[in-house]
Amino acid sequence: MPPTGTLSRNNRQLVFTSSLAARYLGVSLATIRRWTDAGHVSCYRTPGGQRRFAREQLDAFVTSMRREGRAEGTGTDDAGYGPHGSARVA
C-alpha cells in the first residue's frame, strides 16, 4: 500500500460505506454485497439497514485471501490479486 501521504482521505478513514469498501478492495459494488451476504466479509448495519465496514475488517479479509491463496498453492500476491490484495473477479 502507498505511504499514508499519498492515500486519499477515503483510504485513511476507519469506516467505509459499501461503495468505498468495494473501491478499497478493487471490486464492484455487487461483489462486495455478495461477499457480505455469503459471510466472507464482515460488516455491520446502520439503523437504516445500510452496510458499514471497519477498515480492520477489510484488511483482515485481504489477509485471509492471501493466506488461502498460498495454502492452495496458487502462487504469489501478484497472481490474480487486486490493488489491496483482494481476489480479482473478471
Bridge pairing between strands 51-54 and 15-16: antiparallel
- In terms of C-beta density within 10 A (0-12 exposed, 13-18 middle, 19 or more buried), how is residue 16 classed? buried
pLDDT at 23: 96
pLDDT tens for the chain, 90 residues long, are 444 444 455 556 789 999 999 999 999 999 999 999 999 999 999 999 999 999 999 999 999 988 877 766 544 444 444 555 555 544
CA-based torsion, 83, 13, 59, 27: positive or negative: negative
